[in-house]
Amino acid sequence: MPIHPIQIKLNNKLIDLSLPIVMGIVNATPDSFFNGNSFTTNKGIMQCVDKIIIDGGKIIDVGGYSTRPNSKDVAPDEEIRRVSEALLIILKKYPDAIISLDTFRSSVVRQVAKNFPIAIVNDISGGTLDPFMFETIADLKPAYVLTHFRGVLQTMHQQEDYKHVVSEVILFLEKRLTQLRLLGVNDVIIDPGFGFAKTTKHNFEILRKLSYFDTINAPLLAGISRKSMLYKSLKINPTEALNATTAANMLALIGGASILRVHDVKPAVEAILLFHQYNDISFDSM
């Protein structure tokens, strides 16, 4: 497949995404769907971050609100506390780390950004759960992950009715991207929202047709790691879904993904290395 040169500004530096990179997940929560990256202690958080860095992760995605189905609501103040405590220890050791803040609340973005350098806001709702999110992004100017989403967290499984899932997801992203552009937001990453208001069949159709999203002309993030589309298809549980994740990540890379958001960084980095070889790209260019 052709590799399209594309850049995005993170921490005031242009990052070349024509060669895919890995975003490692750090859940500062007690109730993530996969406990392997869910931490409530400083020691656990730092062990996770150390491993992300050592294994080649370029972005650290920190969240304080679990978005798994049937998750409990978390008050904004508690979400801010969880994320801030995690970032305090992460940035003390890794002051130049590229931090992604995983939240759908503009109030959390504004408060956390007062104290910490936030390079990316990773909003699983695409701005639909907070009417002030887009203007907050335009004001503070982090990069923004624009994700396809329907409904609310507690009822999104009831919003899985599509006539043509790929074209409808693309249309949603294009419309929301236009709104961001009109506000002057230029550094946008799109995410088709695997697992959010979609059946397993929908998720695999999106994965199969991921190259269609190239028409949006924005870098694409694939967040498939250990999700139910994988483990339910194989009749296993999330802790057993690493092999499935690596296979799906390779399919996402072939489809045009620029960023892999994962729980397990090393296998994703290795998949990217093999993808480079598949496309006859020198490892020296990494």
Q: Over the chain, what is the mean pLDDT?
A: 91
Buried b (16+ CB within 10 A) or exposed e, 231-247: beeeeeebeebbebbbe
What is the strand order of the sheet 21-27 is part of? 188-191, 143-147, 120-123, 98-102, 59-63, 21-27, 259-262, 221-222
What pLDDT is recorded for position 159?
Answer: 73
Between CA 169 and CA 98 the distance in angstroms is 28
pLDDT category of residue 34 using cuts at 50, 70 and 90 = very low
Between CA 149 and CA 125 the distance in angstroms is 5
Between CA 47 and CA 249 the distance in angstroms is 24
Q: What contacts 250, CB < 8 A, 6 or more positions away? A: 271, 274, 275
Question: Would the pTM of this model clear 0.95, i.e. be above it?
Answer: no
pLDDT tens track for 85-135? 999 999 999 999 999 999 999 999 999 999 999 999 999 999 999 999 999
What pLDDT is recorded for position 279?
Answer: 83
Cα 209 to chain center, whole Å? 19
Indicate whether 286 pLDDT > 60: no
Q: Per CATH, which fold does 7-285 belong to?
A: TIM Barrel (3.20.20)
pLDDT category of residue 39 using cuts at 50, 70 and 90 = low
Active site residues: 227, 261
- Share of residues in the chain with pLDDT > 90 (%): 79
pLDDT tens track for 180-201? 999 999 999 999 999 999 999 9
Indicate whether 232 pLDDT > 50: yes
Indicate whether 2 pLDDT > 60: no
- Domain ranges (residues) in the chain: 7-285
